[in-house]
């Protein structure tokens, strides 16, 4: 990391701190999550399922623009906008030893988020509206006037709607567009998927706060984790994880006929691993320091990736 920072500052000077605070380490994670939504879109699944009848044609330019709008502009801008007001000195998610925020970081990151919404509107107005809504939530979450980040429950709701549900519904809509479908709004199964991933991010979100409780308390932020404490926060993650599993498994069962329900088993197993990990974490919480909680968060990200893969197995189980 230090060598990358040294090279970046040689090439870009102090402006490289703007790039660092976009937290590029998080981009692959959100890229994969957006891709899950795209691949679960009915038009994309139908095209891939019928690949043997002819070439599969997608608008790759549309996919690149959607990625730029959601992952780089909106997500990167959101994280940088938050850092502009947090002025973190300790490690934060996806960035160790964050640099002091540049003087114009709030303005630059806000304009970047708006640019993402403009790009999203060029793909489809529905995607643009979702992106614009997430820009507004990002401002409400971080700006000192509203700062829902320090309002327990408000912070959780914004992250469920934005990162979890927003990323999934955006992927579904983008998938429909790039596959040439006129039906943009998710079908019934799509809404189960949106709810499932929204709740799954709700289950994950407190894990991003637990190891930052000391710095949040020092700054005066009454986040969900600082109010509930570690054990109760983990109990909440377990409840939300179970609810997420119900919705995701419901979507998977609707994708599969009775004779192919075996393809739901990997998702069931992945959700059992997720809940089991949280239960074990809850039991050992009293013995863990902040570094161990941070390590646990990154382990949870790996389990999330397994869940994503299991969802895709459920979606495309007919290939096997």
CA dist., res. 136 & res. 252, Å (int): 32
Class of domain 187-320 as given by CATH: mainly alpha
Q: Which two tokens stand for residue 18?
A: 């703007």
**Mean pLDDT score of the chain:** 90
> Which tens digits make up the pLDDT trace of 65-121?
999 999 999 999 999 999 999 887 777 777 778 888 898 999 999 999 999 999 999
Q: Cβ contacts of residue 39 below 8 Å, gap of 6+? A: 45, 48, 171, 175, 312, 315, 316
> What value does the mean pLDDT take over residues 284-291?
92
What proportion of the chain, given as a percentage, has pLDDT over 70?
Answer: 93
The candidate with the shortest Cα–Cα distance to 238, out of 228, 226, 227, is 228
> What value does the mean pLDDT take over residues 250-254?
94
Q: Distance of CA 157 to CAs 36, 72, 123, 180, Å?
A: 22, 22, 27, 33
pLDDT for the residue numbered 222: 85
Report DSSP state, residue 275.
H
pLDDT for the residue numbered 53: 55
pLDDT for the residue numbered 4: 74
> Which tens digits make up the pLDDT trace of 207-222?
999 998 888 888 777 8
Higher pLDDT, 248 or 57: 248
Asked if residue 186 has pLDDT above 70, the reply is: yes
Domain residue spans in the chain? 1-185, 187-320
Asked if residue 132 has pLDDT above 80, the reply is: yes
């Amino acid at each position: 990391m230090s060598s990358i920072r040294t090279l970046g500052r040689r090439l870009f000077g102090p402006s490289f701190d703007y790039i660092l605070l976009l937290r590029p380490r998080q981009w692959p994670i959100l890229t994969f999550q957006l891709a899950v939504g795209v691949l679960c879109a009915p038009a994309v699944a139908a095209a891939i399922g019928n690949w043997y009848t002819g070439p599969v044609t997608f608008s790759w330019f549309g996919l690149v623009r959607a990625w730029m709008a959601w992952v780089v502009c909106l997500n990167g801008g959101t994280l940088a906008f938050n850092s502009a007001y947090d002025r973190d000195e300790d490690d934060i998610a996806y960035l160790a030893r964050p640099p002091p925020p540049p003087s114009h970081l709030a303005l630059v990151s806000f304009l970047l988020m708006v640019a993402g919404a403009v790009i999203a509107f060029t793909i489809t107005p529905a995607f643009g509206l979702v992106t614009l809504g997430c820009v507004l939530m990002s401002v409400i979450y971080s700006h000192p006037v509203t700062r829902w980040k320090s309002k327990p429950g408000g912070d959780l709701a914004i992250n469920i709607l934005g990162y979890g549900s927003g990323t999934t519904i955006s992927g579904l809509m983008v998938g429909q567009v790039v596959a040439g479908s006129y039906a943009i709004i998710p079908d019934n199964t799509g809404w189960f998927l949106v709810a499932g991933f929204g709740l799954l991010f709700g289950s994950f979100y407190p894990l991003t706060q637990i190891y930052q409780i000391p710095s949040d308390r020092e700054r005066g932020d009454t986040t969900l984790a600082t109010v509930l404490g570690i054990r109760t926060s983990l109990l909440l993650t377990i409840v939300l994880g179970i609810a997420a599993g119900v919705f995701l498994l419901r979507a998977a069962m609707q994708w599969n006929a009775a004779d192919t329900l075996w393809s739901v088993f990997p998702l069931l197993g992945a959700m059992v691993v997720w809940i089991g990990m949280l239960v074990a974490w809850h039991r050992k919480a009293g013995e863990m320091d902040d570094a161990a909680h941070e390590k646990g968060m990154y382990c949870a990200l790996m389990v999330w990736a397994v869940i994503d893969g299991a969802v895709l197995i459920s979606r495309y189980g007919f290939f096997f």
